[in-house]
Homo-oligomer: A and B are copies of this chain.
Amino acid sequence: MTDAAELARQAAGELYSRDVAARALGIEILAVDTGRATLAMRVRPDMLNGHAICHGGLIFALADTAFAYACNSYNENTLAASAAIEFLAPAREGDLLTATASEQSRGRRLGLYDIEVSNQQGTRIALFRGRSARVGGNVLAGAGDK
């Protein structure tokens, strides 16, 4: 494992330990690397909306979390500035959703990430595109502020 990949893994571990919301949603980290992250979430009964399918907000939350772990993988505090999501197919109770984030562009302050959400059969559930902005400071304490 390269130093950069190890840093990405450590930053994700630190974020996840503090990320109460992601853990409350049952989101798990499958893999993290520089500019990349793969996360999973199972659709629970308490995630269904009035149309008896997974609430779009929770599909977004999964994608947004993958986005966060990808754009914070350089150990520089980074927030979502904006994001867009396309809902392609419904997710149903019991579905295991996987979100894969990949970096499309990264400047000194701004970044662009694409996240794809699929179910256990490989059906694409949603496409997400997020824009990140660095806000100063580091994810890992004691790593030194740049």
A contact residues vs B (CB 8 Å cutoff): 14-22, 24-25, 45-52, 54-58, 60-65, 68, 72, 77, 79-88, 90, 104-105, 109-110, 112, 124, 127, 129, 131, 133, 139
Q: What is the copy number of this chain in the assembly?
A: 4
Asked if B105 contacts A88 (CB within 8 A), the reply is yes
B80 in contact with A18 (CB, 8 Å): no
Is A86 touching B82 in the complex (CB atoms < 8 A)?
Answer: yes
Residues of the B chain whose Cβ atoms lie less than 8 Å from the Cβ of A45: 20
Contacts of A17 in B (CB 8 A): 50
**Residue among B62, B105, B131 making CB contact with A57, cutoff 8 Å:** B62
Inter-chain contacts of A58 with B (CB < 8 A): 21, 57, 61
Q: A55-B61, A109-B109, A112-B86 are in contact. Are A81 and B47 (CB under 8 A)?
A: no
Measured between beta carbons, the chain B residues less than 8 angstroms from A65 are 49, 55, 57
Residues of B contacting A57 with CB < 8 Å? 21, 25, 57-58, 60-65
CA A131 – CA B80 in complex, angstroms? 13
Contact A60 B64 (CB under 8 A): yes
With A57-B61, A64-B57, A129-B86: A124-B110 Cβ-Cβ less than 8 Å: no
Q: Which of B16, B22, B51, B86 contacts A105 (CB 8 A)?
A: B86
Cα distance A52–B19 in the bound complex, in angstroms: 8
